[in-house]
């Protein structure tokens, strides 16, 4: 599930019994699990074997572009091959490369003047105006541009053209957007060779490291924007040295590099048994990527106890905001209850629920259908999407470059975070709690069908449609892969057990998953898929036809 920056995630707080919180964490599930061979039916044991593998620390959080993500997609492709599903990616493979690129300044980038050299990372961090590509330059004369953040003192655009423009520090505390402002097209210094802002000490170390790294973006020349001057967030020493050398020529070795990065969807088809209907598909999806390492290790147990305590307090008071004092009290309680236990430092966001749970549910479904004696009449399309967490990019790419005709997809069932939703996780949570999002937006018939299938389950779920409401501030409908299908008029259902206190934390680990419930969700989706795969007619569309180019509307 794509992270969404809320304007104010408000908190209420009173003290809760934190030792009880810590005790509650010591659940029955192990931290590691030796894999066992999986079987045809959807089972708790299979889901555990798969999720402990997919969300293992060795996968490093599976961020797009990483070795861990390559590994997890290879595991999925190997499983699909073993199960005999037909590859439906590029060139007869299971993979569809979505053309990710890393763009950034090389680690050897430097600026020198006279006998002094300044290096990327220690002395400066280059930034670029959004969407811009860096102007390449080898040398430029140094000019003083004026005072940073005070445009009344700035030199003209003409005077800055082709120059290395160095700004003097501003003694005032500037607003964030001003402080780290990159000069883009239309700005005063758009035609400068580069601009130096003496603000590096104001940038926190993790942000500095992150900005010095190349960024991961969708490739394609069309998306490369206008040429812009690199803006260097520089140390005061570097800025002073450059100002002292005004009029001299500086050597600019700012090498902007674009290199391909791995990023692939995994796609397979199980052909339907009915020649008349096998040209139609029921699409099933999940996302395989999660997040990069966090810059600082944190104590897993303390973090989890804190987040859980905060969640309980919120819920108990029905409030949305805590005072800093109340939060401090929780911290004190958490620290005290930790006693003498050594810290378990953690920096890997394992994404067990997000979306390891959907990934392994999808694999279990592939195994169940592939090993069943009779296939559905329609074909099944399994798409394991990449780059969901950085903007639904894998689903965006697949729906723009579909490997089966998109109008032959009768519905898309998305599973993203289907392993939680317990009493501690969400208000109203429990074994029967399941959120459905989007299921009636394009086809009421699809929404009705999911409910009918649910009623036939031995232990039906209670669907929470609250997050599907028009205009809901969490915008859940727009925050996972199904939205990319829906914009092209494919009716969708998003199965989701809700956000919780481990969401996008290093504590989203396999030992906190409810496998029994996940198996029941997998079975529900299996039965919905079977119904969609076998019924005579595809779900009737009755919602307003969406505009694929419009922004998603909750
Ligand atoms: Zn997510």
Distance of CA 176 to the CA centre of its chain: 25
372 CA distance to ligand 1 middle (Å) = 32
- Identify the pLDDT of residue 214: 85
Q: How far is the CA of 486 from the centre of ligand 1 (A)?
A: 19
Cα(389) to ligand 1 centroid in Å equals 5
Residue 43: which of 554, 529, 520 has the closest Cα?
Answer: 520
Write down the mean pLDDT value for the chain.
91
Distance from Cα 359 to the centre of ligand 1, integer Å: 13
Distances (CA, A) of 121 to 18, 112, 201, 505: 41, 15, 12, 27
**Ligand 1 centroid distance, CA of 38 (Å):** 27
pTM: 0.86
Residue with tokens 């140390």: 235
Per-residue model confidence (pLDDT) at position 20: 44
Tell me what pLDDT residue 221 has.
56
Separation of alpha carbons 449 and 463, rounded Å:
13
**Residues whose CB is less than 8 angstroms from the CB of residue 506 and which lie 6 or more positions away in sequence, other chains included:** 294, 298, 300, 303, 346, 347, 348, 349, 350
Predicted confidence at residue 332, as pLDDT, reads: 81
Centre of ligand 1 from the C-alpha of residue 505, in Å: 10
Q: Residue 470 Cα, ligand 1 centroid: separation in angstroms?
A: 21
> Under the phi-then-psi rule, with left for phi > 0, alpha for psi from -120 to 50, and beta for the rest, what region is 225?
beta
Other Cβ atoms closer than 10 A to 361: 29
pLDDT attached to residue 263: 97
- Cα–Cα dist 329/150, whole Å: 42
What does the pLDDT look like over 332-370, one tens digit per residue? 888 877 777 788 889 999 999 999 999 999 999 999 999
Identify the segments of the chain with pLDDT beneath 50: 6-26, 222
Query: Tokens representing 539?
Result: 């779900």
User: What is the pLDDT at residue 223?
Assistant: 57
Distance, CA 72 to ligand 1 centroid (Å)?
Answer: 17
Residue 258 vs residues 31, 190, 228: alpha-carbon distances, Å = 39, 22, 16
- The rounded distance, in Å, linking the Cα atoms of 403 and 420 is 32
Task: Please tell me the distance between residue 474's alpha carbon and the centre of ligand 1 in angstroms.
Answer: 13
d(CA 354, ligand 1 centre) in Å: 5
Q: Bridge partners of 524?
A: none
Question: Ligand 1 center to residue 364 CA distance, Å?
Answer: 21
Per-residue pLDDT at 393: 95
CA of 289 to the centre of ligand 1 (A): 9
């Amino acid at each position: 599930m794509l992270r969404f920056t809320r304007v104010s995630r408000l908190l209420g707080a009173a003290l809760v019994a934190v030792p009880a919180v810590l005790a509650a964490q010591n659940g029955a599930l192990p931290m590691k699990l030796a894999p066992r061979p999986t079987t045809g039916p959807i089972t708790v044991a299979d889901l555990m074997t798969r999720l402990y593998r997919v969300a293992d620390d060795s996968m490093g959080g599976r961020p797009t572009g990483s070795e861990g993500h390559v590994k997890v997609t290879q595991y999925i492709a190997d499983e699909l091959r073993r199960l005999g599903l037909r590859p439906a990616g590029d060139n007869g493979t299971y993979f569809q490369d979505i053309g990710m690129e890393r763009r950034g300044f090389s680690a050897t980038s430097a600026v020198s003047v006279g006998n002094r050299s300044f290096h990327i990372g220690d002395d400066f961090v280059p930034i670029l105006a959004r969407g811009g590509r860096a102007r390449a330059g080898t040398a430029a004369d140094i000019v003083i541009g004026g005072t940073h953040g005070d445009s009344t003192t700035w030199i003209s655009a003409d005077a800055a053209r082709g120059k290395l423009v160095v700004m003097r520090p501003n003694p005032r505390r500037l607003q964030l957007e001003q402080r780290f402002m990159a000069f883009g097209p239309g700005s005063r210094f758009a035609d400068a060779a580069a601009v130096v802002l003496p603000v590096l000490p104001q940038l926190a170390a993790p942000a500095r490291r992150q900005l010095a790294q190349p960024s991961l973006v969708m490739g394609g020349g069309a998306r490369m924007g206008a040429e812009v001057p690199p803006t260097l967030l520089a140390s005061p020493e570097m800025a002073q040295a450059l100002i002292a050398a005004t009029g001299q020529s500086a050597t600019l070795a700012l090498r902007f590099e674009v290199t391909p990065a791995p990023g692939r969807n995994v796609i397979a088809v199980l052909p339907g048994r009915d020649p008349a209907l096998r040209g139609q598909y029921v699409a099933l999806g999940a996302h395989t990527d999660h997040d990069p390492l966090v810059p600082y290790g944190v104590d897993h147990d303390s973090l989890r106890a804190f987040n859980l305590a905060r969640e309980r307090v919120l819920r108990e008071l029905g409030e949305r905001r805590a005072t800093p004092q109340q939060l401090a009290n929780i911290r004190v309680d958490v620290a005290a209850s930790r006693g003498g236990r050594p810290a378990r430092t953690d920096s890997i966001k394992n994404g067990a629920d997000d979306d390891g749970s959907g990934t392994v549910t999808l694999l279990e479904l592939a195994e169940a259908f592939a090993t069943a004696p009779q296939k559905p009449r329609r074909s099944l399309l399994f798409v394991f999407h990449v780059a969901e967490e950085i903007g639904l990019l894998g689903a965006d790419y697949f729906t723009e470059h579909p490997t089966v005709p998109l109008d032959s997809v009768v519905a898309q069932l998305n599973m993203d975070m289907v392993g939680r939703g317990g009493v501690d996780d969400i208000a109203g949570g429990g074994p029967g709690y399941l959120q459905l999002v989007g299921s009636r937006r394009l086809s009421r018939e699809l929404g009705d069908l999911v409910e009918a299938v649910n009623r036939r389950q031995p232990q039906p779920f209670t669907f929470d449609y609250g997050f599907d409401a028009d205009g809901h501030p969490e915008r859940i409908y727009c925050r996972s892969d199904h939205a990319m299908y829906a914009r092209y008029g494919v009716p969708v259902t998003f199965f989701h057990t809700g956000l919780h206190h481990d969401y996008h934390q290093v504590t989203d680990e396999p030992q906190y998953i409810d496998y029994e419930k996940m198996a029941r969700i997998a079975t529900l989706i299996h039965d919905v898929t079977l119904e969609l795969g076998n019924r005579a007619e595809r779900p009737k569309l009755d919602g307003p036809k969406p505009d694929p180019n419009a922004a998603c509307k909750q």
